Structure 1
Amino acid sequence: MGLLRRKKKATEAAADTLDTVADRASPSPNPMTNLLLADIAMRAGGAILKRGVETGLLGAKVGTKTAGKVVKSRGIGKSLVRTALARVATRSVPGAIVVGGGLLAKTLYDRHKGKAAAAKGHAEIRKAAKKAE
């Protein structure tokens, strides 16, 4: 019995130590507040990373300044459509197949059209950049 009692006391002491360390390491003593703060930080970081990647990929073709304007000027409608497509693609295998197949078809179509697709894309970029100004 003595061994079990000592083991229980040691476990409780370790748990108390971990709680104390966690309280000092986290911004709030309320764990739900800390979860909310972590969620907001992750989403903000993801948004910043997303904007950087989009600007970098587009900037390789049209210049960083123009790419930044275009990325910032996108409307809520286009953002909602992109978000919906991403959710459909990540929630299920059939959704991923449908969305991936659509993206593949669009890419192949653009490659088939070649110069006409490139010209159309550049015209859309110029239009979006002017709209942002």
Structure 2
Amino acid sequence: MRKRAISTSAIKQQARKAAGVVAAPTKSLKALADNGGELHGPSPNPATNLVIADIALRTGTTIARRAVERAVLGASYSPRKAKSILKGRTITETLLHGALARVAIGSVPGAIAVGGALIAKTLYDRSRARTARAEGAKDLHEMAKDGAQDA
């Protein structure tokens, strides 16, 4: 009995089919638009769809980030004080945190540098836990006062 050889591409295709993965379309967006094909999204203009997607993703990310920040602070503080602390952050702190996140996301060396710095800071704080806890509580108390004044 002769065995039939199966190519790796045929195996991959069968695996995709079994997993329910649909093959990528072979036509480009320009070809679809030229052929009267329909593009996905609320607008027929792909640039508008990109703007809508960008705004939706940024909004979702911001909401998720705020929820995580409140949850982290909520473990030690009341929801009201946590909200005041988050309102009391300075523009400089917000911009610095955003810049560090972009550096960490931008490249592997950036992620290693930022992650390494955070690990070093955590280990430093743990080595002087009592003093760091007092300093952190003082800083958060000041931020909460600033946030309460803004409200």
CA distance in 1: counterparts of 2:101 and 2:52, whole angstroms: 24
Structure-1-length-normalised TM-score = 0.78
CA RMSD of aligned residues (A): 1.8
CA distance in 1: counterparts of 2:134 and 2:70, whole angstroms: 20
CA distance in 2: counterparts of 1:40 and 1:121, whole angstroms: 34
Match of 1:19 in 2: 38
Structure-2-length-normalised TM-score = 0.69
1:17-40 CA deviation, whole Å, 9 max, x = no partner? x618x4xxx332212111101100
The runs of 5 or more residues in structure 1 that have no matched partner are 1-11
Match of 2:51 in 1: 36
Match of 2:74 in 1: 59
CA distance in 1: counterparts of 2:42 and 2:90, whole angstroms: 35
Give the share of equivalent positions with the same residue, in percent.
Answer: 47
Question: How many residues align structurally?
Answer: 115
The runs of 5 or more residues in structure 2 that have no matched partner are 1-31
Higher helix share: 1
What SS class does the counterpart of residue 44 from structure 2 fall into? coil
CA distance in 1: counterparts of 2:95 and 2:141, whole angstroms: 22
Q: Which has the higher contact order (CA 8 A, sep 6+)?
A: 2
The residue identity in structure 1 corresponding to 2:138 is A
Give the 4+ runs in structure 1 shifted more than 6 A.
none
1:13-71 CA deviation, whole Å, 9 max, x = no partner? xx86x618x4xxx3322121111011001101100110110011011112221111211
Match of 1:49 in 2: 64
